Amino acid sequence: MNSEDEKARLREILAQVKPLAAEYYRLTGKPLGVTGEVAEFVAAETLGLELAPPRTEGYDAIRRTGEREERVQIKGRAFGADSKPSQRLSKIKRGAPCDTVLLVLLDNSTLEPREMWEASYEAVEARLAVPGSKARKRGALGVREYKRLARQIWPEKPDLG
């Protein structure tokens, strides 16, 4: 996704897909299966990330800061007032060439972004390694559990200090 024309076309496609996916969810109670793609595009646009080529192992985007490159694994979750508090992130790839895990929470009625949270890959892997949970053993963390490891990066919280 290099050219501005391609980005504009992707915005147009998502503008059509998001309402359909939200309506599908309202009617069936099941996601249509586009949450991950929407989350990746929204994160790239909002945070200035460069999306990795499709099927890149272990990460979805690259953040360039000066001469440094961070590899970002992006997880998307459609979430709303009626969502179960036990919702989990999709499987986090263990042993991946990754630096950070980004969670994009989307409003389940519109698929518009609500919040973005980021945690170091090292902290996420350490949490997944804690014994006692079959879900963690499979590479899945609950949204609340992940948030305890992470910091909210969007929208930015005002500094109250």
Write the pLDDT tens digit of every residue in 71-89: 999 999 998 777 776 789 9
Q: Structural domains in the chain?
A: 4-154 (3.40.210)
Q: Give the pLDDT score at 160.
A: 62
d(C-alpha 22, C-alpha 129), whole Å: 35
pTM here is: 0.90
Question: What is the pLDDT at residue 116?
Answer: 98
Burial of 74 (0-12, 13-18, 19+ CB in 10 A): buried
Whether 100 and 75 have beta carbons less than 8 Å apart is answered as no
pLDDT in tens, 78-128: 987 777 767 899 899 889 999 999 999 999 889 999 999 999 999 999 999
The helix (H) or strand (E) run that includes residue 91 is none
Strands 50-51 and 61-65: antiparallel
